[in-house]
């Protein structure tokens, strides 16, 4: 019966392009699509959000962390108050491991980069997060190049802290922009750079301890279909450049 209920919920979420990755009596893990808010919009409450979408399926669901509207990928929710307290503690004490994947330009000169510059949230009129060596707070982003060509690169970014727009701000400080990101956008980019249908940032992996029994969980959300043509182009361009 429980399995049937979970399947029914999964089917309902699939109609909204939300993938169910894991569920038990304590937690829910989903793959959020790009273009869906995590929480209701403060100015327009009619816009769909995970809170309004999941509400009818899960009468009691607690949000633990958020993803930006344009970002896709893995999110965990608590299904009871005890799980919520424990997951909040893990996120607050930075006991979770969060890894994102993105497409960014231009291609960096490095294969791996530890970005430790301090960040300040809401640092300008556009509410951007900026590197600020005077008023910023400690932040950690470990970026690794997974593949590259002349125009752009495929990056894995593991974050040790969880500030809003952290990856976007750190990459911008290092003169990189995520493809499709209009807010943290470098002024000069090659004309041959492919046009992205969205901001190409995806929350790929999340590791944490189960709130009830403490067992280690590592869950992944596969890259969405929008990434496929870019990765194919990246592979062919890299091959062409090496021939």
Catalytic annotation, residues: 68
Name the residue among 126, 86, 113 with its Cα closest to residue 211: 86
């Amino acid at each position: 019966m429980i399995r049937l209920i979970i399947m029914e919920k999964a089917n309902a979420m699939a109609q909204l392009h939300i993938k169910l990755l894991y569920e038990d009596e304590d937690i829910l893990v989903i793959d959020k699509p790009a273009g869906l808010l995590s929480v209701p919009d403060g100015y327009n409450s009619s816009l769909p959000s995970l809170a309004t979408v999941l509400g009818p399926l899960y009468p009691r669901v607690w949000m633990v962390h958020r993803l930006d509207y344009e970002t896709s990928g893995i999110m965990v929710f608590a299904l009871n108050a005890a799980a919520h307290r424990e997951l909040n503690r893990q996120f607050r004490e930075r006991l979770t491991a969060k890894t994102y994947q993105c497409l960014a330009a231009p291609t960096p000169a490095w294969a791996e980069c530890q970005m430790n510059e301090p960040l300040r949230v809401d640092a300008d009129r556009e509410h951007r997060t900026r590197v600020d060596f005077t008023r910023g707070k400690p932040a950690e982003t470990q970026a690794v190049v997974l593949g590259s060509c002349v125009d752009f690169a495929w990056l894995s970014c593991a974050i040790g802290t969880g500030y809003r727009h952290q990856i976007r701000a750190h990459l911008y400080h290092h003169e990189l922009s995520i493809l499709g990101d209009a807010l943290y956008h470098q002024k000069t980019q090659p004309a041959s750079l492919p046009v992205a249908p969205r901001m190409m940032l995806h929350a790929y992996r999340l590791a944490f301890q189960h709130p009830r029994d403490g067992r280690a969980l590592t869950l992944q959300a596969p890259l969405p279909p929008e990434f496929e043509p870019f990765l194919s182009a990246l592979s062919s361009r890299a091959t062409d450049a090496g021939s």
